[in-house]
Structure 1
Amino acid sequence: MPSSSPFPRVTVLGLGVLGAQIALQTAAHGVDVTAYDVDDAALATGRGRLDTFAAEAAGEMPDAEAYRGAPERIRLVSDLAEAVREADLVIEAVPERLELKRDVWARVGAAAPEATVFATNSSSLLPSAIADATGRPDRFLALHFANHVWVNNTAEVMGTPQTDPAVADRVQAFAEAIGMIAIRLHKEQPGYVLNSLLIPFLGAAAELLVKGVADPATIDLTWRKATGAPAGPFQIYDVVGLRTAYAVASADPRSAVWAAHLKEHYLDQGKLGVESGEGFYRY
């Protein structure tokens, strides 16, 4: 399909669960996409994710062929400088570690064209903690996607006090051009709107489990039946991914018991959620 994106060439850094979804969604809407990961093995894994997500989206969306053909249109690159050399917009979705993100952005800032706009998909870090590493804080902001991008199609646009409002406007227009509902935040907020609501909810469910109040299936059933929600908290955990849940829990000393529970009973047994075929449930 022809694209109305204000950024004709987009590079996505990281082909993990969300990075692959962002790349797929962007390519399915006619944008020229390059995807970067650290080596050929990571790219091969990422290509598998792209194919899996494309098949899933094709079964759920009316424009099935756009999704089905999108992986073939995504250029895979393991050289960071090459990946960003001609990019109009770079979206970063590397692991949620501040120093890693700052290092990646410093290298991107040195290699990308002067006019390139930068966006982080960080789920918990404030863009102002990263902005100066890019060398162009006025062209940097957060663009946060929800998991299952083509269905849960929100994209939160959150700048810093240094972000040029015109840049934020262009990023908002990009989000809308690739089928997102753009959520514009007026100030920085850890967790944006979505995770500011979601993380306490998931944390309450985790507390019920580790205290032995109820098992995951019972907690999920209670929430679904009492509220009419399509999924309970542990179903959401499986979709988000238990590695992500563990990373968030590990960063908060108040969640140490929950982090240990996840590691012992799930991560150490290879149960990572939907991506591995088993988490709190089997898939």
Structure 2
Amino acid sequence: MNLKNITIAGSGVLGFQIAMQAAFHGFQVIVYDINDEVLEKAKSKFKTLSESYTTDLKASPEQLENTFNHLSYTSDLALAVKDADLLIEAVPENPQIKIDFYKKLAAVAPEKTIFATNSSTLLPSQFAEATGRPEKFLALHFANEIWKHNTAEIMGHSGTDQKVFDTVVQFAKAIGMVTLPLHKEQPGYILNSLLVPLLSAATDLLVNDIADVETIDKTWMVATGAPTGPFGILDVVGITTAYNINKIAADATGDPLKIKTVKFLKENYIDQNKLGVSTGQGFYSYPDPEYLKKYFLK
């Protein structure tokens, strides 16, 4: 495997986690985002994340110092990919934003650079043409809290070169992931093919006034033994992601329930900046959400 220099495009919920994980395992990582203000916010998130690495991975101060020495930041895309062996795209889950980004990227990236999308629900074939290098393009999808929930789903499209696919599998192993190669394209990969129906069903129950957030989560947690219910999961994933997924479905199908869900999420959460764990408020309040309290399951 010849990958040394990794560029992460997007410093949002998963972008900064992927960057930290790769830097922690010794790769040179450049974090790219649209402006310096966004990148400054990302830097503070890395400091918070280092506490999780200390607690969960027993990372030493020396390891963390080395990690931060492997991280750099820029809002200049050409500079961000100048030496990139692999670029992982973690920009918003919106097809047009991704297409626009890949067209800009294709104009400045060196020929050697492999492009990977971390999209949760969209297929690599939707963007392959826009990349200008379809044979060097595939999906590399991580779960949230990547350092603990260390899954990496690798999914090519019909034009992905097998050597490129194998190289990305090796990279995922090198940053401590359990690699999960898919044989062909599947909307939602494996994880979200299982998870999204659960989250959608929970949201439907809430929007249709069947039950409240706490009762729905309690039902799932007590009946299955899961440590978190669907709304606790949505707070970690980020309510913006849920909103975008529902909006895409609503626009594509005109489903009245999806339209109702989009309106509900926008008015009650997006417009009020209640975006989940990242803003300290979503379906629950953080850092001490109700579902973690002893009495919650009584």
Q: Same fold (TM over 0.5)?
A: yes
Does residue 22 (structure 1) correspond to residue 25 (structure 2)? The answer is no
Tell me how far 1:82 sits from its aligned partner.
Answer: 0.5
CA distance in 1, matches of 2:213, 2:65: 34
- The ranges of structure 1 where at least 4 consecutive aligned residues each deviate by more than 4 angstroms after the TM superposition are none
Match of 2:197?
A: 200
Q: Which residue, out of 249, 258, 268, partners 1:265?
A: 268
Matches within 5 A, 1:238-253: 238-253=235-250
CA distance in 1, matches of 2:64, 2:265: 34
CA offsets 1:79-103 (integer angstroms, 9 cap, x no match): 0001001001010111112222122
> For residue 46 of structure 2, what is the amino acid of its counterpart?
L
CA distance in 1, matches of 2:200, 2:148: 24
Match of 1:159?
A: 156
Match of 1:274?
A: 277
CA distance in 2, matches of 1:249, 1:201: 14
CA distance in 2, matches of 1:222, 1:267: 26
Q: Which residue, out of 41, 48, 71, partners 2:37?
A: 41
CA distance in 1, matches of 2:285, 2:239: 13
CA contact (8 A) 2:94 2:244 kept: no
What fraction of aligned residue pairs are identical, expressed as a percent?
A: 51
CA distance in 2, matches of 1:96, 1:43: 19
Match of 2:111?
A: 114
Tell me how far 1:150 sits from its aligned partner.
Answer: 0.6
CA distance in 1, matches of 2:242, 2:101: 23
> For residue 124 of structure 1, what is the amino acid of its counterpart?
T
Tell me how far 1:72 sits from its aligned partner.
Answer: 4.3
CA offsets 1:65-88 (integer angstroms, 9 cap, x no match): 434652343110110001001001
Tell me how far 1:271 sits from its aligned partner.
Answer: 0.9
Does residue 62 (structure 1) correspond to residue 58 (structure 2)? The answer is yes
CA distance in 1, matches of 2:147, 2:274: 25
Match of 1:172?
A: 169
Per mean C-alpha deviation after superposition, the further-off stretch among 16-25 and 58-67 is 58-67
CA contact (8 A) 2:142 2:152 kept: yes
Match of 1:10?
A: 6
Per mean C-alpha deviation after superposition, the further-off stretch among 169-178 and 65-74 is 65-74
CA distance in 2, matches of 1:50, 1:107: 27
Tell me how far 1:123 sits from its aligned partner.
Answer: 1.1
Tell me how far 1:54 sits from its aligned partner.
Answer: 2.1
- Report the TM-score, using the length of structure 1 for normalisation: 0.95
CA distance in 2, matches of 1:53, 1:68: 13
CA distance in 1, matches of 2:64, 2:119: 25
CA contact (8 A) 1:88 1:117 kept: yes
Gaps of 5+ in 2: 287-298
Match of 1:222?
A: 219
Match of 1:81?
A: 78
Q: 1:234 to 1:67 in 2, by over 3 A?
A: farther
CA distance in 1, matches of 2:138, 2:3: 15
Match of 2:47?
A: 51
CA distance in 2, matches of 1:265, 1:39: 28
CA contact (8 A) 1:54 1:68 kept: no
3-state SS of 1:141 partner: strand
Tell me how far 1:33 sits from its aligned partner.
Answer: 0.4
3-state SS of 2:226 partner: coil
> For residue 278 of structure 1, what is the amino acid of its counterpart?
Q
CA distance in 2, matches of 1:67, 1:179: 16
Per mean C-alpha deviation after superposition, the further-off stretch among 54-63 and 142-151 is 54-63
CA distance in 2, matches of 1:239, 1:136: 33
Gaps of 5+ in 1: none
Q: 1:194 to 1:86 in 2, by over 3 A?
A: same
Match of 1:96?
A: 93
CA contact (8 A) 1:137 1:162 kept: yes
CA contact (8 A) 1:51 1:71 kept: no
Per mean C-alpha deviation after superposition, the further-off stretch among 189-198 and 47-56 is 47-56
